[in-house]
Amino acid sequence: MIKAIDDSLQVGVEEFEGYNRLVTILYRCLHTNQGFQPFFDEFRQRFRCLQGGILGLTHNPVRMMFAWTFGYPEGFEQWFLNSDLARKDEALLHFSALPPRQFDSLTGCDPDIDILEVVNEDTREWVEAAGLGDSAGMLVSQGPTSKVVFLANRHRDEGQYTPTELMQMNMLAPHIENAVGLFNKIYQSRTQHETLSMALDHIRKPMIVIDEMARVVRCNASAEKILASHPRLFVTEQSDSRLQSLNSGFNRQLNDAILTSIFNARDGVQDMIALFEQMDDERLAICITPLSMGCDDEPVEAHGQYGALVELVSFSAKRPPNLGKLARLFNCTRAEAVTAGHLMHGLSISEAAEAEGLSVHTVRGYVKNLLSKNGYRRQAELVGALVRALD
């Protein structure tokens, strides 16, 4: 779909000034803790974009590793993550297949082509609902196991991208590649995450700091001890350290939970997610909390860093829950405490009901009571609190 650039296309004074401004703002992003949001704001205004972002993707299977986005409704990233759309999205597939640093339009800048004729059935409904008319994007960089893609969607009311606009974007392309590469290197030396991660060495509980790009900044000594002995959970090589599991199904859950927590941190949502990795009678609870930190005495929204804090709790499945302790801590009846005990061992509501010979409706009622009595909105928050009560 890539078309040769027409030699007659020229960049006027206004367009060149706009290009200079975009480049200046892009590199300025490297000196703040705001990610690429200032650049997105200017790019969006300049090219009349509806939404888009920079996405890090694994090769096979195609999964989102990290993302900076703009213009999408609240909760979109989590939906995109859980919908498995990354491996089906026509725009991502097309832009991923381009040569690096080469912008293209999904419709080829052809006004006679409707974007609904280009996208596949998996994305057509979403494209139509969002009112998209075109999408422009490029392959920023590609490594042995992952790639980074930039894309910018435009509403149909704004018309399709033009060859002149693509030429202007291609002028920006090498700068986008440089900025993303530099951000990857600079981000690892940000002092706030380093300060927090070093402070973890003085904490007894096994904890891990995850940065905004879903990379492991540091494991404290207690966490390293658990990882060293665990047969499936590990941290990948130093150049791209990530918390992963040899169990492919659980690894996907872990990746999704970490990314969801990072997105929640950006949105100011402090919901905690608890996962359970089981090996025979030994279980490992992985509690993931959104991490937001301001700097220079300014609020996080102005200059902040985001990420996730992972707490590991290792225990035996044979260890019976202390029902009296649960009743006191969570202000509940013995029947509710029994249900709480099953939840803290990683059982679902249906599994807890089966274990006690009760109906799912009855156990769900106990969980509802536990939530309301303790001020939790979601079952995941309750489970996280219960796991921490194991200590």
Same domain, 219 and 277: yes
Indicate whether 209 pLDDT > 70: yes
Q: Which residues pair with 42 in a beta bridge?
A: none
Same domain, 105 and 58: yes
Residue pair 259/66 in contact by the 8 Å Cβ criterion = yes
Residue with tokens 């649960």: 326
Rounded distance between C-alpha atoms, residue 92 and residue 57, angstroms: 10
Q: What average pLDDT does the chain have? A: 82
Indicate whether 112 pLDDT > 70: yes
Over residues 62-87, the pLDDT tens digits come to: 888 888 899 988 777 777 777 777 77
Rounded distance between C-alpha atoms, residue 344 and residue 70, angstroms: 37
Rounded distance between C-alpha atoms, residue 271 and residue 261, angstroms: 8
Name the most confidently modeled range: 10-14, 85-89, 187-191. 85-89
Question: Mind giving me the DSSP string for 37-61?
Answer: HHHHHHHHHHHT-SEEEEEEEESSS
- pLDDT for 186 equals 60
Q: Model confidence at 191, in pLDDT bands (50, 70, 90)?
A: very low
Residue pair 86/92 in contact by the 8 Å Cβ criterion = yes
Q: What is the CATH number of the domain that holds 77?
A: 3.30.450.80
Same domain, 252 and 329: no
| Strands (DSSP E) found in the chain | 51-58, 64-70, 104-105, 132-142, 146-155, 207-210, 216-219, 233-235, 243-245, 273-279, 282-294, 304-316
CA distances from residue 148 to 67, 102, 282, 285, 337 in whole angstroms, order as listed:
9, 13, 38, 31, 47
In a domain, 47, yes or no: yes
Weakest mean pLDDT among 98-112, 204-218, 345-359: 204-218
Indicate whether 41 pLDDT > 90: yes
Phi, psi of 253 (to 5 degrees): -60, -40
- pLDDT for 301 equals 42
Q: What is the CATH number of the domain that holds 308?
A: 3.30.450.20
Over residues 281-329, the pLDDT tens digits come to: 788 889 888 887 654 444 444 445 788 888 888 887 777 888 888 888 8
In a domain, 217, yes or no: yes
Same domain, 91 and 172: yes
Indicate whether 185 pLDDT > 70: no
Residue pair 284/233 in contact by the 8 Å Cβ criterion = yes
Enter the DSSP assignment of 73: P
Provide the b/e sequence for 311-328 (b: ≥16 CB within 10 Å): bbbbbeeeeebebeebbe
* Total domain count, the chain: 3
Q: How many CB atoms lie within 10 A of CB 78?
A: 16
Q: Model confidence at 60, in pLDDT bands (50, 70, 90)?
A: confident
Q: What is the mean pLDDT of residues 199-207?
A: 72
Among candidate residues 187, 207, 236, the one where a domain is terminated: 187
Burial of 390 (C-beta count, 10 Å sphere; 0-12/13-18/19+): middle
Same domain, 46 and 166: yes
Q: Model confidence at 14, in pLDDT bands (50, 70, 90)?
A: confident
In a domain, 7, yes or no: no
Q: Model confidence at 373, in pLDDT bands (50, 70, 90)?
A: confident
Helices 163-187 and 37-47, packing angle to 10 deg: 180
Q: Model pTM?
A: 0.65
Write down the H helix ranges in 101-162.
Answer: 115-118, 121-130
CA distances from residue 244 to 62, 86, 290, 301, 307 in whole angstroms, order as listed:
16, 19, 18, 30, 16
Indicate whether 157 pLDDT > 80: yes
Q: Model confidence at 193, in pLDDT bands (50, 70, 90)?
A: low
In a domain, 68, yes or no: yes
Over residues 237-263, the pLDDT tens digits come to: 766 789 999 998 899 999 999 998 888
Same domain, 243 and 136: no
Same domain, 40 and 65: yes
Indicate whether 136 pLDDT > 90: yes
Q: What is the mean pLDDT of residues 336-360?
A: 90
For 256, the 3-state DSSP assignment is: helix
Indicate whether 230 pLDDT > 60: yes
Q: What is the mean pLDDT of residues 135-149?
A: 91
Same domain, 181 and 209: no
What spatial distance separates the first Cα and last Cα of the chain, rounded to whole Å? 59
**Token reading at 377:** 């909105």
Indicate whether 223 pLDDT > 80: yes
Q: Model confidence at 7, in pLDDT bands (50, 70, 90)?
A: very low
Q: Which residues constitute the domain of residue 112?
A: 13-187
Q: What is the CATH number of the domain that holds 366?
A: 1.10.10.10
Q: What is the mean pLDDT of residues 270-280?
A: 82
Among candidate residues 187, 208, 230, the one where a domain is terminated: 187
Among candidate residues 152, 187, 222, the one where a domain is terminated: 187
Same domain, 167 and 27: yes
Q: Which residue has the higher pLDDT, 374 or 354?
A: 354
Residue with tokens 């399709």: 160
- pLDDT for 114 equals 92
For 217, the 3-state DSSP assignment is: strand
The residues, ordered by sequence, that sit 6+ positions from 123 with a Cβ below 8 Å of its Cβ are 85, 88, 89, 90, 91
**Token reading at 192:** 């706030």
Rounded distance between C-alpha atoms, residue 68 and residue 270, angstroms: 19
